[in-house]
């Protein structure tokens, strides 16, 4: 589903952000990506989204060769991915329903289908009763649920979450992680970049630890490794 072979990414300045990374993720896995600030996690996510191209190496996601993919095929490729960020990135002047429906309008789903799909996905994330609310009327946890609904409504095969609990209190963080786990149990491959040590240690999932652009550990049912530096 996701393969990175000897992937390096150097920016114009500084040491390479990624340096010879090999990573294989199978369909249906739940993987945490952890590591100190600057270890290369965001760079990895950007490469998987094809926002960046590697300096060296090969990346294949869902059968798409991300080094050689033609520009006009990138939007089609990205339909396979749902993305969630730390800061939610909702449309502030649109209500919950519109925020989720927007993702379907972009891919030109017929209105009839949108009217069926949006309430269904809002029920999945536990927000069926809040479809008319504006983002500012929601808690941080609820806003993140809207963002997750928006990421899922087009039924992506892979969900990428970049620090999804970074702005949430512990209770909401747990609820969001449990929701991501449930989404994974329903068949979606889930990658979560996080600094949340307690949750990583408790959830007993695969943990890939990055340090200075390399993978220093990759463990099934792993934990958060403390940096001794």
Ligand X SMILES: Nc1ncnc2c1ncn2[C@@H]1O[C@H](COP(=O)(O)OP(=O)(O)OP(=O)(O)O)[C@@H](O)[C@H]1O
Closer to ligand X by Cβ: residue 142 or 162: 162
Nearest to 227 by CA among 35, 43, 31: 35
Q: How far is the CB of 213 from ligand X (least distance, A)?
A: 7
Q: How far is the CB of 183 from ligand X (least distance, A)?
A: 23
Q: Residue from 35, 54, 164, 223 that binds ligand X (CB under 6 A)?
A: 35
Which parts of 70-99 interact with ligand X (CB under 6 A)?
none
43: contact with ligand X by CB under 6 A: yes
42: contact with ligand X by CB under 6 A: yes
Give the relative orientation of helices 96-106 and 111-124 as an angle to the nearest 10 degrees: 130
17: contact with ligand X by CB under 6 A: yes
147 with 112: CB under 8 angstroms? no
Q: Residue from 4, 32, 41, 196 that binds ligand X (CB under 6 A)?
A: 41
The helix or strand, by DSSP H or E, that contains position 84, with its residue range, turns out to be strand 81-85
Q: How far is the CB of 147 from ligand X (least distance, A)?
A: 18
CA 104 – CA 63 distance, rounded (Å) = 23
Closer to ligand X by Cβ: residue 35 or 141: 35
Helices of type H across 91-194? 96-106, 111-124, 140-152, 170-185
Q: Residue from 40, 82, 156, 222 that binds ligand X (CB under 6 A)?
A: 40
Q: Residue from 20, 28, 38, 119 that binds ligand X (CB under 6 A)?
A: 38
13: contact with ligand X by CB under 6 A: yes
209: contact with ligand X by CB under 6 A: no
What SS3 class is residue 206?
strand
Closer to ligand X by Cβ: residue 10 or 69: 10
39: contact with ligand X by CB under 6 A: yes
130 with 138: CB under 8 angstroms? yes
Strands lying side by side in the sheet with 158-162: 81-85, 158-162, 189-193, 30-35, 206-211, 214-219
- Encoded one letter per residue, x for contact with ligand X by CB under 6 A and - for no contact, window 108-147 reads ----------------------------------------
Q: How far is the CB of 108 from ligand X (least distance, A)?
A: 33
159 to each of 17, 36, 48, 68, 170, how far by Cα in Å? 23, 22, 11, 23, 22
Could you list the residues that contact ligand X (CB under 6 A)? 11, 13-14, 17, 35, 37-43
């Amino acid at each position: 589903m996701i393969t990175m072979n000897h992937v390096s990414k150097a920016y114009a300045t500084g040491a390479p952000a990624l340096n010879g990374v090999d990573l294989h993720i199978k369909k249906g896995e739940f993987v945490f990506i952890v590591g100190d600030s600057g270890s290369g996690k965001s760079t990895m996510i950007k490469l998987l989204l094809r926002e960046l191209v590697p300096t060296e190496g090969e990346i294949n996601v869902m059968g798409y060769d991300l080094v050689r993919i033609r520009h006009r095929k990138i939007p089609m490729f990205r339909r396979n991915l749902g993305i969630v960020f730390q800061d939610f990135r909702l449309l502030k002047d649109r209500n919950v329903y519109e925020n989720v429906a927007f993702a379907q309008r972009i891919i030109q789903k017929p209105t009839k289908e949108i009217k069926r799909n949006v309430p269904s996905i809002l029920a999945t994330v536990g927000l069926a009763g809040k479809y008319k609310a504006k983002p500012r009327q929601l808690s941080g946890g609820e806003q993140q649920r809207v963002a997750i609904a928006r990421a899922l409504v087009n039924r992506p095969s892979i969900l990428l979450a970049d620090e999804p609990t970074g702005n949430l209190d512990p209770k909401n963080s747990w609820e969001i992680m449990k929701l991501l786990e449930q989404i994974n149990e329903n068949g979606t491959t889930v990658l979560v970049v996080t600094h949340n040590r307690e949750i990583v240690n408790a959830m007993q999932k695969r943990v890939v630890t990055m340090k200075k652009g390399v993978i220093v550990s990759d463990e099934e049912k792993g934990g958060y490794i403390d940096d001794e530096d």
